Structure 1
């Protein structure tokens, strides 16, 4: 039986007052955000997100493709 769920979709999240608005791409059960979107989501800077991503790879939590 073929899965009727689409492989790609865009989901838009809005806060109570309508902000912040974040669009995310969902592909095969994986959510994709840019570093700027992650920074907005977590209320931090792109530089801080970059540091955390670098640490994730350096500690072997994820492997680069």
Structure 2
């Protein structure tokens, strides 16, 4: 993996597409990307992230900020957005699977 490399994941049904960051030998997704991936509300994802940080991942570094360019009106704005590594994605995968029996797109973890 190259530092800062981005790969594109597209669900088999073509409805979900994510630009996944690769850095430090792990993948990184932001909250919105995880909400899209698991077909959940971003507030639900935030709740599960907070629980995971308190209960399961308190001593493991799982969060990094990446500069992300987003379009706001007619201009492009660069913001530092929190992204979560594969450890967090795996925890959220289990939360989303067990808390709501609803099909969703998933990466092979």
Q: Same fold (TM over 0.5)?
A: yes
- Cα deviation for residue 32 of structure 1 reads 0.9
Unaligned runs of 5+ in 1: none
1:13 corresponds, among 9, 12, 15, to: 9
Greater strand fraction, Structure 1 or Structure 2: 2
Q: What TM-score, normalized by structure 2, do the two folds share?
A: 0.49
Structure-1-length-normalised TM-score = 0.77
**Deviation beyond 6 Å, 4+ runs, structure 1:** none
Which gives a bigger RCO, structure 1 or 2 (Cα 8 Å, sep 6+)?
2
Could you tell me which runs of 5 or more consecutive residues in structure 2 were left unpaired when the two chains were aligned.
64-109
Aligned pair count reads 61
Whose Rg is larger? 1
What is the match of residue 52 of structure 1? Answer: 48
- The yes-or-no answer on 1:22 pairing with 2:18 is yes
